[in-house]
Structure 1
Amino acid sequence: MARNAARPIVKVRSTAGTGYTYVTRKNRRNDPDRMVLRKYDPVARRHVEFREDR
């Protein structure tokens, strides 16, 4: 199966400054802006915002 160009793989980086990243997919048609997720940062040991890194 070919990968869908509408759902690219993106890295989301922690805003806590720890350098921790998650890798996920997003639908470019529905969410053309940069993705912001609230996830757990194990280095900071708390939930923080993760912003899409390009």
Structure 2
Amino acid sequence: MARGTTRPVVRLTSTAGTGVTYVTRKNRLNDPDRLVLRKYDPVVGGHVLFREAR
């Protein structure tokens, strides 16, 4: 299998509008939709939802 086709690098941006981003990889076969994770936002000082930005 070609490298990088199943696990692309995606950027997660905060839904709080602070401009904080995380970079991660996702499996396209298991998660075909946009990824949504609850992660720590240092500007807010707590956990918020981060959505995949394309």
How high is the TM-score relative to the length of structure 1?
Answer: 0.92
Q: Which blocks of at least 5 consecutive residues in structure 2 are unaligned?
A: none
Where does residue 27 of structure 1 map in the other structure? 27
Q: Which blocks of at least 5 consecutive residues in structure 1 are unaligned?
A: none
Q: Which runs of 4+ in 1 moved over 2 A?
A: none
- Deviation of residue 3 (structure 1)? 3.3
How high is the TM-score relative to the length of structure 2?
Answer: 0.92
CA RMSD of aligned residues (A): 1.1
Aligned pairs, number: 53
Q: 1:9 aligned to 2:41?
A: no
